[in-house]
């Protein structure tokens, strides 16, 4: 007598497993993409915070005369405007690739008003900060 010992998976079982994996991947990709963009926004906000800190530090140590860029400083200029001063900071990288509201809601607790998310990466950009002498408030008015 011949022993009939068949081991393995049937084609139907394999197709069901492949279909389940495909559904899981289809669900995971949008979640992964949104988390990836949130990570890019986080890096962009961190870079804006660094630019703001440098602008504020240079502004606080500025003597009020003609601004000369110090070696190693990213602050390019400090110029008077009608209600305060405008400070430009160079070499600001923005990593965001999709415009998200309020930088994925990461810009809500910044010490300055953030501009709209440009929705495109910017390498070695220039951030412009305005300091309002009347209110003492800071705002990042543009990133280019």
At 1 the pLDDT is: 62
Query: Domain extents for the chain?
Result: 11-143
What's the half-sphere exposure (Cβ side, CA atoms, 13 Å) at 13?
3
Tens of pLDDT, residue by residue over 53-68, are 999 999 998 888 888 8
For β-strands 137-143 and 122-132, DSSP reports them as: antiparallel
Kind plus residue range of the DSSP H or E element containing 39: helix 11-61
The residue-averaged pLDDT of 21-27 equals: 96
Q: What separation in angstroms does the CA of 42 have from each of 36, 104, 116, 135?
A: 10, 8, 14, 28
pTM above 0.85?
A: no
Tens of pLDDT, residue by residue over 71-128, are 889 999 999 999 999 999 999 999 999 988 889 999 988 999 999 999 899 999 999 9
At 2 the pLDDT is: 64
């Amino acid at each position: 007598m011949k022993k009939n010992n068949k081991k393995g998976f049937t084609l139907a079982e394999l197709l069901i497993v492949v279909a389940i994996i495909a559904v899981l991947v289809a669900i995971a990709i949008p979640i992964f993409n949104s988390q990836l963009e949130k990570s890019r926004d986080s890096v962009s906000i961190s870079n804006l915070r660094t630019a703001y800190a440098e602008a504020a530090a240079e502004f606080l140590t500025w003597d009020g005369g003609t601004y000369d860029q110090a070696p190693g400083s990213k602050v390019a200029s400090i110029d008077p405007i009608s209600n305060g001063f405008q400070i430009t900071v160079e070499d600001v990288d923005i990593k965001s690739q999709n415009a998200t509201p309020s930088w994925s809601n990461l810009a809500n607790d910044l010490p300055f008003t953030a501009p709209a998310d440009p929705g495109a990466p910017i390498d070695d950009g220039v951030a412009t900060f305005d300091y309002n002498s009347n209110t003492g408030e800071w705002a990042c008015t543009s990133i280019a």
